[in-house]
Amino acid sequence: MSQVAEGKVAIIHYTLKDAAGETIDSSIGHEPMAYLHGGGNIVDGLEEALEGQAIGAKLDVVVPPEKGYGQREDVPPQAVPRGAFPPEAELEVGMQFMVEAGEGYSPVWVAAIEGDDVFLDGNHPLAGATLYFSVELVGLRDATEDEIEHGHPHGLDGDAGHHH
């Protein structure tokens, strides 16, 4: 029987809740999510729990911050003028952007919008949070060479029509 391992594409249905039991995100009612096991596509704690599982496995997984999105860094959000963004950009709290940082790019999230100021936070919105996942492994297949090279799956079935 095939099991989740590095180089496999696992296909899961999931529901993510916070400590209060509020649903943060879920694939239920939508297409399941595919990820490349060992590719860093999902948080470490969930990937570790899925290691060795077979199709049909149902798990409830509690992921502490250090195995999720990390602890919050004590750096306040930085104000950026609205004019620094394209005028047609419809900014919303929670949106993610990549910004130049030293040698490369780093993700930032819109934490607040106040007048002409957009406050950007380098902390993931779920940094510092314990994550509560309910997952069901609904599919499993070998990753294609392209998927392994790119570090992520190209759809549920490894569709060769994927482009970067």
163 pLDDT more than 70: no
DSSP string, 96-131: EEEEEETTEEEEEEEEEEETTEEEEESS-TTTT--E
What residue segments make up the domains of the chain, in order of their start? 8-69+127-150, 78-121
pLDDT tens by residue, 2-59: 999 999 999 999 999 999 999 999 999 999 999 999 999 999 999 999 999 999 999 9
pLDDT at 103: 83
Domain range 8-69+127-150, its CATH number among 1.10.10.10, 3.40.50.300, 3.10.50.40, 3.30.1490.270: 3.10.50.40
Architecture of the domain delimited by 78-121: Beta Barrel (2.40)
Predicted model pTM = 0.82
